[in-house]
Amino acid sequence: MDFFAVLNLLQIEHLRSEAMHKTIPDTSKAKRTRTVNMVAQNIIHNGYRAGAKPREAGPAGMAATLDRVVRFLEELMSEIDSGVEPRATNPYLNMSLHLLRSHVEGRIVTASSLVDTSGVPYATAMRKLAELEKSGLIEQRPRTKSGKSFSLHPSADLIANWSQLADRIHRLGVGAFGNKEEESDNDDYYFGGSYQHGQATIEPPKALSTPLKLQGGVRILVHGDPTFMVMDNLKRQFEQHVGTQIHQRAFSIDRLREEALRNAKRANSRYDLIAVDLPWIGEFVKRGVLRPLDSIMDTERLDPSDFHTAGWQAAHWNGTPYGVPSQTTPELMFYRKDWFAEAGLTPPASADAVLKAAKELHNPRSGRYGVAWNAARGTALGHTFMTTCAAFGQPIIDLPEIAGGFDATGLDRSDIRPTIDTPRGLEAAEYLMALLEFSPPDILSMSWYERVRPYAAGKVAMAYGYTLLAPYFELDQSSPAFGNTGYVPQPHGPHGVPIAPVGGYVFGIPTNLPEDRVPDAVEALIAFTSPESQKLFVQNGSRTAPRYSVGADPEVRRLSPIFEAVDAMSWRDELQFWPRPPIPQISEIIQICGQEFHDMLRGVTCPQDALARAQSRAEDALRQPVT
């Protein structure tokens, strides 16, 4: 027999033995961190370590290995089968490769389609397929109520086995063909690195054993930001995951709130899940928009302790959870590390340091500006004033002071009063006035995305921004800020401390969702907010991670320094949600601040008058009950 044919048979037998006799591992929570590589489709950009030369485009990090090796083995087997005689077809290998490839691409696989790829007669292929199913490597999922029609999916064990095998094959290929650029990543393989590498790795999403039976598919209302757009890009994969179609509508932040409130007045909700900005929780509860989660599910299924504390607490009202964090994205200060190093400046930890650095780096004649921030009239500037007040040491309403900040958990009371027109409020307003001198000329129209775009284009030295906006420069290799960005909490005033105001969204279930849709909506909620799904979002471009386990995952950490930085802020208790307290009237107060302080920035009013007017209008707003 030809040498290559013998080698092929030996390799195939090894694969078969390893796959068929692998002991099915424990699938308990403690084993959730097995070594499994996530395969992703519709990649936004490839992530890699700062300073390293990027690899070929494709799934991020080690996730690319499984995809490349599956494709390689398919092509290799085709070449061997057509070019080597005599040949021995391996149905286990052919079917496994086809199943994995289809799983990656979001294509449905039936028994007949899988048998067609086996390369052996029908009866033989059916026996081999039954052996794979019996071994726990292939799972069935009903496609009809009768269960007579079903789709086939790779089990977590099959994906885990092949991920590990693909990594070994990849390393052998690197060693044999001398890809030195990739060898540097594998230097620690023989010194324990290969074991450490997967210790905290989250396994990929697994197809639900029972597909969701939501007529017309899962209907979701979301914000049009990069993270939710990643979910839209992965639509086919998630449809495979939940077993039904997904329909997602995306709006800007103000239109999202309007649509959610409009939907609540309908007899039946048009959406199974809605994305809720954290400050809206109190208003949406008071207006009857959201169902309390503990009335429709066992919230322990969500593993609450895995969520960042501030993000999980912000999803509650009066101690009851009304949503599950789908994004936890603190507002930080982005700064150009290279420019700061050249100028001999330290990271901007305080408001004074921001102004000093902005003055040093501001050079309008060269098209370079000191700092960009939310200064557009309305919602954008209203959020800026709230978080700036927090950085200067006070919330915009009277909250009891506690260790590490202020207590924003007991907000269902009638004696709340605004604390806008105060000495620290004046400090915050004057700081914003001082920033104007070192800002781009169109600063008064800059909002969420506009402030990050000039930073990504290399025109701004610093920018206030939520981590969800980091893909604008972290995933764009042509951006001057790519690989040159540092992240620090909000620079604080003389009476403040380092703080990272928590933003982002929770997924909630509408109160008026028909009862027959609620159970499956709960399953969709769990699926979309799971560690496995959150990691998939990150691998495809998101820079938000609401769970500790996702931020600690080694593959995730290699994609961006943001995750390690945010985790460190969380452990230092710098992640806080009190800067944007979710009282029922918060949206109106945000608008008030956004209007009055915009007039201040335009020079129509002075800071003292703007504070007094905002205080008075906020007091009037708080007197109006929300029902």
Q: Which pLDDT does position 199 carry in this prediction?
A: 47
Report the topology of domain 330-500+585-623: D-Maltodextrin-Binding Protein; domain 2 (3.40.190)
In the chain, which residues fall in CATH 1.10.10.10? 3-197
Burial letters 217-246, b for 16+ CB under 10 A, else e: ebbbbbbebbbbbbbebbbebbbbbbbbeb
Report the topology of domain 3-197: Arc Repressor Mutant, subunit A (1.10.10)
Residue 415: exposure state from Cβ atoms within 10 A (0-12, 13-18, ≥19): exposed
Q: Which pLDDT does position 210 carry in this prediction?
A: 87
Closest by CA position to 276, among listed 233, 332, 231, 321: 321
**DSSP label at residue 540:** T
Tens of pLDDT, residues 119-162? 888 888 888 888 888 888 888 877 666 666 788 888 878 877 77
Distance CA 238, CA 540 (A): 13
Residue 345: exposure state from Cβ atoms within 10 A (0-12, 13-18, ≥19): middle
Q: Which pLDDT does position 282 carry in this prediction?
A: 96
Q: Which pLDDT does position 1 carry in this prediction?
A: 36
Given a cut of 70, the residues of the chain with pLDDT beneath it are 1-68, 79, 81-84, 87, 104-106, 143-148, 167, 170-171, 174-200
Q: Which pLDDT does position 176 carry in this prediction?
A: 67
Q: Which pLDDT does position 619 carry in this prediction?
A: 97
Distance CA 360, CA 370 (A): 8
Token pair recorded at residue 411: 């907000």
Q: Which pLDDT does position 501 carry in this prediction?
A: 95
Distance CA 602, CA 199 (A): 54
Start-to-end CA span in the chain (Å):
82
In the chain, which residues fall in CATH 3.40.190.10? 218-328+504-575, 330-500+585-623
Q: What is the pTM of this model?
A: 0.72
Q: Which pLDDT does position 96 carry in this prediction?
A: 84
What is the chain's percent helix, strand, coil content, to nearest 5? 50, 15, 40
Report the topology of domain 218-328+504-575: D-Maltodextrin-Binding Protein; domain 2 (3.40.190)
